[in-house]
Structure 1
Amino acid sequence: MIDQVDRELQEWVKSVVMGADVVLGPPRQLEGKHGVSLYLLALTNPPQAWMNRQPPIRIALRYFVATWAGDDEEEAHRLLGKLVLAAIKKHEYELDLAEVPAAMWAALGIAPRPTFTLCVPLPIERLEPVTRLVQGPLVMRGTPITSLYGIVLGPGDVPIAGASVELPALQLRNHTDTGGRFHFPTVPGEAGSTRLLVKAKGRVQNVTVEQPTSGREPLVIRFDSFEIK
């Protein structure tokens, strides 16, 4: 994506200052020559002026723009002036005339000279969702809802208090009361569609609900032994 913006920016500069060399990279590459250097400084947040653009711009590329014309500084200034005026008229770009810090010149290894920074949008392709044609009338299918009552018993049919009862598919969990009972008020009503994970005293059981339950006829879950084998 960035390489595409590089090429488009180079072509735009060439159309403004025809006949001049346009290179990507640090400005000193053109020192003593005739042309324009475009140096990508950073990827940054888009300028405030772009906030309402459609589609929204999420990333901006900041290019450092400098011109050279051998020993002819007047010609270098002419090239720079043409680019500045063209950038002002090109609404897709944002011109930044802030002074370049001295540390930047030191890092680039060249003496300070007139330059400007250009913010260019980085287009990001959005994948449009695939819209499929409706081939028939809309059919609504409901899932029956019921309540689940159960009791957890240990050896000798002794109720187990504090056993953990989970519905993994619904991310629900309950614990048995002092009588070993538990209750989930809303679960799928289709036979075989409700699966439980029951944990008691270090033992685990997977249980599938095969028939309706009620407070009088709860699902009975038995642990025959808690001995460690």
Structure 2
Amino acid sequence: MFQDLDETLKAMLDDAAAPAELRAADVSFDTPDRDYKPAEATVNLFLHEVTENRSLRDEARVLTRVADGYTSQLPSLRVDCTYLATAWSAQAGGLKAAEEHRLLGLTLQWLSRFPVVADRFLRGSLQTPPQPYPLQAMVAQAKENRSTGDFWTALGIAPRPAFPLTVTVTVEPYDEVVQLPPVHEVHLHSGLIDDPLFRGVVFDHSLVPVAAATVSVDGTGARATSGPDGEFAVPGLEFGTYTLTVRASGRPDEQVAVTYAADHQTQTVVLSGP
């Protein structure tokens, strides 16, 4: 993945519309330490930090419509890949500094054109299969309370002009996909806040309504029997948290914890096992 991101950034800097001097420069992803001395004008993009973008985290499972129903899977990870962009010249003295500053400025100006990396630049696994989200790119936006002094000290070289480049990619670490049946019917149950009624539906593990199931509200003595459509109702119950005991023919008893409130009057009970 990271090598494909490297190739993607290289394609951006080699684009025909990029400044000629930028296209003529070499592009390197090597560590710019004390032994790094390129023999020609070079733009160095050093990948030094990979972190999950927690602001883009989604805890909800992803539902996808397929021909025979739906699939459900855990959400993707959004990962920030941060490069340090520097420019290097093989010349000496003032010519060296002038070339490095000019090349770094062109790199900053060109990459700033792409807050989202265009599809034509994508390479390898970033292209096939397609990324589910566009690749966002941030140029020259340093993180708060982050000093570059320790960074240069760790590399063993004197500080030099640089700017960060952060590209957010999508990572699919989970391959488990749950197949769900299609929706054939939708039943709406209305309730009144000033005249509530505890009600619900009993389903088996394949979401088929279970008739003649006895639903007891533990500790209250209240109970009801589900009808042909699996529905049951228990009048006169106070709002609160309860445990339901469900007894259905040919099945072991099951207990389900539920919360009954004005805005949550209908419960769905799904029995486990066939």
TM-score normalised by L of structure 2: 0.46
Counterpart for residue 212 of structure 1: none
Counterpart for residue 30 of structure 2: 25
Between the two structures, name the one with larger relative contact order (CA 8 Å, sep ≥ 6): 2
1:9 and 1:118 map into 2 onto residues whose CA distance is: 10
| Partner SS state of residue 89, structure 1 | coil
| Partner SS state of residue 110, structure 1 | coil
1:48-94 CA distances to partner (integer Å, 9 max, x unpaired)? 7x89xxx9982211101111121222122111111111122211211
Does structure 2 retain, via aligned residues, the 8 Å contact 1:143–1:188? no
1:9 and 1:39 map into 2 onto residues whose CA distance is: 12
Gaps of 5+ in 2: 58-74, 117-136, 187-206, 217-242, 255-274
Counterpart for residue 194 of structure 1: 252
Q: Which amino acid aligns with 1:104?
A: F
TM-score normalised by L of structure 1: 0.54
Q: Which amino acid aligns with 1:41?
A: H
Q: How does 1:1-229 map to 2 (within 5 A)?
A: 1-15=1-15, 16=18, 17-28=22-33, 29-31=36-38, 33-46=40-53, 58-71=78-91, 72-92=96-116, 93-96=137-140, 98=142, 101-125=148-172, 140-146=208-214, 186-191=245-250, 193-194=251-252
User: Percent same amino acid at aligned positions?
Assistant: 25
Identify if the C-alpha distance between structure 1 residues 119 and 137 changes in structure 2 by more than 3 Å, giving closer, same or farther.
Answer: closer
Note the aligned Cα RMSD (angstroms).
3.9
2:147 and 2:38 map into 1 onto residues whose CA distance is: 18
Displacement of 1:194: 2.0
Gaps of 5+ in 1: 149-183, 197-229
Q: Which amino acid aligns with 2:2?
A: I
Does structure 2 retain, via aligned residues, the 8 Å contact 1:30–1:37? no
Identify if the C-alpha distance between structure 1 residues 122 and 80 changes in structure 2 by more than 3 Å, giving closer, same or farther.
Answer: same
| Partner SS state of residue 120, structure 1 | strand
2:101 and 2:166 map into 1 onto residues whose CA distance is: 21
